[in-house]
A and B are shown apart, each in its own frame.
Chain A
Amino acid sequence: MRVNRFSGAITAAMLTLSIAGPAAAQELKIGLAAEPSALDPHYHNLTPNIQIATQVFERLADQDKNQAPQPMLAESWKATDDKTWVFNLRKGVKFSDGTDFTAQDVIYSFCRVPKVENSPSSFVVSTRPVDTMTAPDPYTIVITTAAPFPLMPQTVFSVAIMSAKQAGAPVDLKYSKDGCQGVAQWPRTDDFNKLKYAGTGPYKYTQYTPGDRIVMERNDTYWGKKPVWQKVILRPITQAAARVAALLSGDVDFIENPPIQDLPRIEANPTFAIAKGLSNRIIYLHFNYLADSPPGVTGTEGKNPFRDKRVREAISLSIDRDAIVSRIMGGVAVPAAEFLPNPLAGTNPGIKPAKPDLDKAKKLLAEAGYPNGFGLTVGTPNDRYINDAQVAQAAAQMMSRAGLKLQVDAMTSTTFFDKRTKREFGLWLAGWSADTGEMSNSLRALAGTPDPKTGFGTTNPGGYSNKEMDALLTKALTTVDDKQRNSLLAEASRMVMDDYGVIPLHFEVTVWAFKKGLTYEAQVNQYTRPDAIGRQ
């Protein structure tokens, strides 16, 4: 009896092994640095949620690895006039529950966005420009906007498409700005977390245990190229050392954001490989222009030194960006000359990062009336960007070589952002990544004159204001022709840089580490997308 049971167990174990063998090759385990807050693709407008949701819930247009719009559920689109966009939808697409994809689903999904309960960060910013949305036939969507809105293809990437039929929507759904009429009950976030709703993407969710794992499996009804992996298991491992250990021990096959100091160790190991890619995240220094005597500034007899362009130029000239990149960032960054790196839309191809020039910096400070410098404090988060506090330290030391008396005030990001909004810094270090992958996004947020009416200056609490630039940006934002708009944006960007309105330091380089034999197409938006993970 005992012998029988034992041999039975062995047979069972061998059976599992022989099944697990080929299946394991189809299975991919990923260690994530941050966990999505829900599986509802309309719930939280933040990278950890979006990067995963793209695999299940598709959008009209995708972003390629350089964030350029690509056909997804829409095969093509064009602006028929300044305020009208026509999207031609892909035919023969099915949701993973078997329902057909039509224009109704697009209308329904756009309508749901403002209806999500308790959304911590809504996608409404992306649906707000849509004034009317109609479907002349089941495979065409016509969007009109109140004002010319050239960024429609970039913007529709933010709205995930779900099945209207599965959600029980009425067949004659009509779009209106605050959600469609005649829908009694909108899908609840909780039901998404219970895997109730289907998407059209390459994968479908099959298990969700918050804090532990998200499992998705290949969607057999997917219209596109069959994904490489049969099953993808996503595990949040927020602690960086534990994430690296999980990779090295074989618990997971692929991790995002390995810490810089562990890269040499991973690269030296012949069984692992890494992929690096320039990101759209700029690390910059920003000034408080609004305060008459900015917090942390001393020895200026109550004046705000940052209103003097010569002071700002001196600060920029004192910083050795190459040294920061090589010594603090371990080479995993690229010195920056403006808000976005070069292949992206609206950048200046010829622009070069400033080289340090201490003599000139000292001269400029003397001309500005500060021959002996002045005291200032740099505020910085210490847990938000790669080596953020160390970068601020290094920049501060470099500035002190130009004669300024620097202090660094580093703090956790929740405190930092709160203080920044309340303008409790004179000078601070922060980061920005442009979700649309083009210059207008960065210029609007960081350099536009703050104004709720225009939506400019949302992350410009220091109040940098350049009316000429504002006008140029406004013009660009209503120019539908891509080439023309991008050259206007490049000009506006140049204007801010020549004025030293914001001081760019470097672009982060995003790193992914994985088992040898895998490949990853680095994404400039820093996303970890299972569909971009391949096999050699």
Chain B
Amino acid sequence: MLAFVLRRLGQSAFVIVAMAALVFLSVYAIGNPIDILLAPDADQQERAAAIARLGLDRPLWQQFLTFLVNLAQGDLGKSFVFGSDAVSLILARLPATLELALVALVLAIVAGIPLGILAGLRSDGWIGRGVMTGSIVGFSLPNFWLGIMMILLFAVELKWLPAGGRGATGTFLGLQFSLLDPAGWPNLLMPALTLAIYKVSLVIRLAYAGTREAMLQDYVRFARAKGLSPARIIGVHVLKNILIPIVTVLGLELGSMIAFAVVTETVFAWPGVGKLLIDSIARLDRPVIVAYLIIVVGMFTLINLAVDILYSILDPRVRLADGGH
């Protein structure tokens, strides 16, 4: 198990360096942040000083080498725009995104799995058809449009929920979380729903397919013959077997919700990392973009690792040996 974990971490270190090089070069190729940062009427002297301060006057290979040396020392650089440490900027915005992703994940599990199983059991009835049709709608709605429509309906027309922004927050370990203060929940609801709808549909489809398949398996027939109650058959035996693909997919989806909730966060003016990323891209704030993606790659590696470990708990036949049978 330890060897497995170490090898995984080694692989991700390689991915991080390769990805950092790619991002570094492509941001360099897009353009120069200096015209966005500088006051338009800065004179030539000030312009030259600003370019030198950011190190943009040096050749690309030198800039990249400095970046690699600093990276090796764990320093991802300072934001061009905010002047402060890129990593701490990202970490300061992370709680907002984490709680959004967490609520969306819980919604996906709580709504998706029961609905999917139900649809799988009643696949010919109107419940099954209704749920599956609904999931297709949930699949195909673009996030952006859905967010705007929810705002128009629930905020502008009905005035039930605030149109955006983060509401009141409570403090936990020195970090701010809306989940801890009920006054902050209304603000959390719409962005979390927007983020969750696609995942709910995804989970419904996985649970549906899994249930239909499992119900035809021998162990279900045996369990029935043994006289187990349908609730126990479905709640224990079927559920456990359909969970494996769902856990895999949700693990990856959780990662992408944390990393790329960009659209949702922008539409709802939610001050999370996705918003920070899109703003940084617009301003070509290279240190923040690169640091962000490095953190994301690291996070995906960890999530994948966690998913693999979860597998082995759900299915004892799976051994953590990197395919070493």
Contacts and interface: CB of A to CB of B under 8 A. Distances in A.
Interface of A: 35, 37-38, 43-46, 117-122, 124-125, 189-190, 209-213, 235-239, 241-243, 245-246, 248-251, 383, 412-421, 432-435, 441, 444-445, 450, 452, 455, 458-459
Which 10 A-B pairs have CB atoms at the shortest separation, nearest pair first? Answer: A211-B271, A118-B83, A417-B35, A249-B155, A418-B31, A45-B39, A212-B271, A452-B44, A120-B37, A418-B32
Contacts of B271: 209-212
Interface in B210-260: none
A14 B292 CA distance: 45
Given A37-B82, A413-B36, A418-B32, A458 B159 contact: no
A237 B165 contact: yes
B164 A432 contact: no
B152 A245 contact: yes
A125 B43 contact: yes
B186 to A, nearest CB: 11
A236 B269 contact: yes
Interface string B34-66: 011111111111110110011000000000000
Nearest to B268: A242
A245 B31 contact: no
B96 to A, nearest CB: 8
Contacts of B148: 241-242, 245
A24 to B, nearest CB: 15
A245 B282 contact: no
Nearest to A123: B39
Contacts of B49: 122, 124
A249 B162 contact: yes
A77 B277 CA distance: 46
Contacts of A239: 266-267, 269
Contact of B50 (A122, A432, A435): A122
9 contacts: A38-B82, A45-B42, A210-B271, A235-B165, A236-B269, A239-B266, A242-B266, A246-B165, A421-B35
Interface of B: 30-33, 35-47, 49-50, 53-54, 78, 80-84, 89, 92-93, 96, 148, 151-152, 155-156, 159, 162-166, 176, 266-269, 271-272, 275-276, 279, 282-284
Contact of B42 (A121, A210, A242): A121
A452 B93 CA distance: 41
B282 to A, nearest CB: 7
B81 A414 contact: no
Contacts of B46: 121-122, 124-125
B26 to A, nearest CB: 12
Contact of A120 (B38, B272, B282): B38
A445 B31 CA distance: 22
A120 B34 CA distance: 8
A445 B50 CA distance: 18
A251 B53 contact: no
B41 A211 contact: no
B81 A37 contact: yes
A429 to B, nearest CB: 15
Contact of A455 (B40, B44, B93, B283): B44
Nearest to B278: A238
Residue of A35, A190, A239, A246 contacting most chain B CB atoms (<10 Å):
A239
B84 A190 contact: yes
A414 B36 contact: yes
B209 to A, nearest CB: 37
